[in-house]
């Protein structure tokens, strides 16, 4: 194989918010090297499968609103601009923000480039893509979860004669006008999409495994971040089981959910036991007609590109094993980091406001190794 191999110190896979957060700190090291504050800084590149900036935010449904105001939804260095109107920003506002962010810091992003595989290579990695290969000493995997929708294995699913979509493909309520709709899932996307469809559909059955638990109305993304931050500090201090967000409730009461719930329209029923060609069979044995099922049943972290590395998996929920307290660092592959997927690689690392801390600490660890000279080949 004579194809040329690019050489770089750090490859960041994915240029959604997590990739950009890591890019910000690597960029700052480059600036410090240029101005003589440090002798040298690692080179880096971000490889992103999208055609355009914004990561998965470009694909969310049109009415989606952030959990928190703009001031509490920012990455490091540059505040998200305040949006117009009384509500929290919508998803297009985030896409604009991330677009400006990557331009502002002139982050070295290659797009569209899909990473297909990461192989270990002596003290380094070879990152295989649909546009060539990159050899590097450090990999920050920041591919998110959007590309791996999860649908539970409900009996009869393939026999259902209506339409089935996952949150991943939900593009707004219009196709469901006057239809009998079943929304499945008792977390945020289930509540928000049920509220979104309710005014348009003839009927919405909201099917959940258990009675959904709303967070207190005043608890938004800000409060959740504070709770998660306390958890990070407690874990670092070795304290026992600090309170987790999940123990407080499942659903953030955003304005659309609040309106539907307070009107008495957002009523859940226990999950159906199977799907028949006509619709769901409920626990009491009755079958209802449905035109469409919307599966709001979540995502799995998308680690397919590193699945070939031996020794991955084994952590909670089949996540890779990571170190403590730097929860982004792979135990099995020194030099490999996981950023932004959720609690297993850092409490509060998934939301915009939380990922910066983990990006900073990850880049600091890489910078320390780089400065020690052990791996600075390129």
Which stretches of the chain bind ligand FAD, using CB under 6 A?
13-19, 47-50, 55-57, 60, 64, 66-67, 73, 114-115, 142-144, 146-147, 189, 221, 302, 305, 340, 350-352
- The least CB distance from residue 189 to ligand FAD, in Å, is 5
| Tokens (6 digits) for 37 | 């504050």
| Tokens (6 digits) for 318 | 């089949």
Report the residue number, 293 or 345, with the smaller CB distance to ligand FAD.
345
Q: Are strands 132-136 and 5-7 parallel, antiparallel or unpaired?
A: parallel
Are 74 and 352 in contact, with CB atoms under 8 Å apart?
Answer: yes
Ramachandran area for residue 215 (φ above 0: left; ψ -120 to 50: alpha; else beta): beta
Are 298 and 150 in contact, with CB atoms under 8 Å apart?
Answer: yes
* DSSP string across 36-54: TSSS----EEEE--SSSSS
- The least CB distance from residue 4 to ligand FAD, in Å, is 20
- The least CB distance from residue 237 to ligand FAD, in Å, is 26
Ramachandran area for residue 3 (φ above 0: left; ψ -120 to 50: alpha; else beta): beta
- By beta carbon distance, the residue nearest ligand FAD is 16
d(CA 46, CA 16): 10
- The least CB distance from residue 64 to ligand FAD, in Å, is 6
- The least CB distance from residue 54 to ligand FAD, in Å, is 7
Q: Which residues contact 331 (CB under 8 A, 6 or more apart)?
A: 320, 321, 322, 323
Are 348 and 225 in contact, with CB atoms under 8 Å apart?
Answer: yes
- The least CB distance from residue 312 to ligand FAD, in Å, is 15
- The least CB distance from residue 211 to ligand FAD, in Å, is 22
CA angle, residues 115, 57, 205, in degrees to nearest 5: 115
φ, ψ for residue 262, nearest 5 deg? -65, -30
d(CA 100, CA 372): 34
Report the residue number, 26 or 275, with the smaller CB distance to ligand FAD.
26
- The least CB distance from residue 372 to ligand FAD, in Å, is 29
Are 127 and 13 in contact, with CB atoms under 8 Å apart?
Answer: yes
Report the residue number, 72 or 160, with the smaller CB distance to ligand FAD.
72
Are 353 and 225 in contact, with CB atoms under 8 Å apart?
Answer: yes
């Amino acid at each position: 194989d004579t194809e040329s191999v690019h050489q770089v110190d750090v490859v960041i896979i994915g240029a959604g918010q997590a990739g950009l957060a890591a890019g910000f700190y690597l960029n700052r090291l480059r600036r410090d090297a240029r101005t003589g504050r440090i002798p040298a800084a690692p080179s880096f590149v971000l490889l992103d499968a999208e055609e355009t900036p914004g990561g998965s935010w470009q694909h969310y449904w049109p009415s989606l609103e952030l959990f928190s105001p703009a001031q509490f939804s920012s990455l490091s260095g540059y505040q998200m601009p305040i949006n117009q109107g009384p509500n929290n920003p919508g998803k297009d506002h985030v896409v604009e923000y991330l677009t400006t962010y990557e331009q502002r810091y002139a982050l070295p992003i290659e797009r569209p480039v899909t990473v297909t595989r990461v192989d270990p290579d002596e003290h380094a990695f070879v990152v295989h893509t649909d546009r060539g290969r990159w050899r590097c000493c450090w990999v920050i995997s920041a591919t998110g979860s959007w590309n791996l929708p999860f649908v539970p294995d409900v009996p009869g699913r393939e026999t259902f004669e209506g339409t089935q979509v996952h949150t991943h493909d939900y593009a707004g309520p219009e196709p469901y006008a006057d239809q009998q709709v079943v929304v499945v899932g008792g977390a945020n996307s289930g509540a928000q999409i049920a509220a979104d469809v309710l005014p348009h559909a003839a009927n919405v059955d909201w099917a959940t495994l258990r009675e959904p638990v709303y967070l207190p109305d005043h608890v938004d993304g800000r409060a959740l971040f504070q709770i998660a931050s306390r958890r990070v500090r407690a874990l670092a201090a070795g304290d026992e089981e600090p309170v987790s967000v999940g123990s407080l409730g499942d659903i953030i009461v955003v304005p659309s959910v609040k309106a539907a719930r307070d009107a008495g329209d957002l009523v859940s029923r226990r999950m159906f036991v199977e799907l028949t060609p006509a619709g769901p069979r409920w626990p009491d044995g009755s079958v209802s007609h449905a035109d469409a099922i919307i599966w709001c049943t979540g995502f799995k972290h998308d680690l397919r590109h590193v699945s070939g590395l031996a020794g991955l998996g084994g952590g909670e929920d089949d996540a890779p094993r990571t170190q403590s307290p730097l929860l982004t660092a792979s135990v099995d592959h020194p030099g490999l980091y996981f950023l932004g997927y959720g609690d297993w690689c850092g409490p509060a690392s998934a939301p915009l406001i939380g990922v910066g801390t983990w990006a900073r600490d990850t880049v600091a660890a890489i910078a320390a190794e780089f400065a020690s000279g052990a791996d600075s080949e390129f």
